[in-house]
Amino acid sequence: MTSRLIKGLLFDLDGTLLDSAPDLTAALNRVRADLDLPPVSVAAVRKGVSRGAQGMLELGLPGVSGADLAQAKSDFLHHYAELGCSHSEAYPGIEVMLQMIEAVGMPWGIVTNKYESLTLPILRSLGWDQRAGAVICGDTAAAAKPSPLPVLMAAEQVQLPASQLLMVGDDLRDIEAGQAAGCSTAAVAWGYGEADQFGQDVADYIFMKINQMHDFIKQIIDASDGDQSQQVQRDQNPPDQDSEPDTLSSACR
């Protein structure tokens, strides 16, 4: 488990901050209706959300392949763009957490594999587009997660080294991307990823419930405040430049 000082946070979007399964399922059901298929429930395809359109279609349209699957994917993305944030909501407690982070001036950002054309309208609907210090989408960087490139791009935008950031997500790709970039990592269990993908040593931290993440962020804030207080104290009490070093004490430590 890491003990590095964390000064900022990066979040995956779907399954971490946002429950987008209702709108994604509605888009899938429009495709199914075009194919004269009955609707499916959110619960039936929820686990496909973390794998994007491909994952949703694999669960929602089994047996469809080739040109038919390509057309279904195009239709699905069109329907999802129309729906946007019609039924999606931030998970309970997420908004409070973001306000807690912002209250102390700690930067945060979003790193998602969802395309910009789909992500940005959703963030505007939630009011997050002007609050996040970084928004990196699946087509923003040269590669998407699990590549570290989008995480490193987000680190640059929030103006912190990756080593001082916590990457939070519900899918193994989030953790792998964060680790490859040099971030501390946290896996969350309330999203769409399979619980058994997170072994005890996969991520630095695992949060089963949002209130656990709240408590951890309070600890991060307290640790950051303590570090700043120590720096102020050092600045106010600089070492005496004319004094001789305590060579005996240094040698004996």
Catalytic positions are: 12
Contacts of 113 (CB under 8 A, 6+ apart): 52, 137, 138, 144, 145, 173
The pair of structure tokens assigned to 103 is 């209250």
Tell me if 174 sits within 8 A of 194, measured CB to CB: no
Q: Quick one: how far is CA 55 from the chain centroid?
A: 19
Say if residues 11 and 17 touch (Cβ distance below 8 Å). Answer: yes
Torsion from C-alpha of 118, 122, 127, 133, nearest 10 degrees: -40
Segment (H or E) for 233: helix 210-236
**Are β-strands 8-11 and 108-111 bridged in parallel, bridged antiparallel, or unpaired?**
parallel
What is the number of alpha carbons within 13 Å of residue 84 lying toward its C-beta?
12
Q: Is the dihedral of CA 87, 193, 54, 149 positive or negative?
A: positive
